[in-house]
């Protein structure tokens, strides 16, 4: 007998989500990001073309930061022109 038997296909089929099995524990485990000490960024809703989003997301995590940096560079270029 083993303490941690390998799951079968049936085990996976019958499995239920953690949040369904232990809702109180799941709720207590949810961690939200707390308030920033000194907020410097503002939350906005922005519509971008799909190819633009794919380009930035394609490079991996940090895609929103890269969009912000790209916009900041565009501002600097415009100011120096």
Cβ-Cβ contacts under 8 Å for 28 (sequence gap 6 or more): none
Residue reference for tokens 């089929």: 13
At residue 40's C-alpha, the angle toward residues 38 and 44, to 5°, is 130
- The mean per-residue pLDDT over the stretch 19-33 comes to 82
Encoded tokens for 52: 């633009």
* Residue 1: band (very low, low, confident or very high) from pLDDT cuts 50, 70, 90: low
The pLDDT value recorded for residue 40 is 80
The pLDDT value recorded for residue 6 is 93
The pLDDT value recorded for residue 50 is 96
* Residue 2: band (very low, low, confident or very high) from pLDDT cuts 50, 70, 90: low
Number of H helices, E strands in the chain: 5, 0
The pLDDT value recorded for residue 14 is 93
């Amino acid at each position: 007998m083993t303490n941690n038997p390998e799951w079968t296909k049936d085990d996976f089929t019958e499995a239920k989500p953690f949040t369904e099995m232990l809702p109180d524990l799941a709720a207590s485990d949810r961690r939200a990001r707390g308030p920033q000490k000194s907020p410097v960024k503002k939350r906005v809703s922005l519509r971008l073309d799909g190819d633009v989003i794919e380009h930035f997301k394609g490079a991996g995590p940090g895609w929103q930061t890269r969009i912000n940096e790209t916009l900041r560079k565009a501002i600097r270029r415009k100011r120096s022109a």
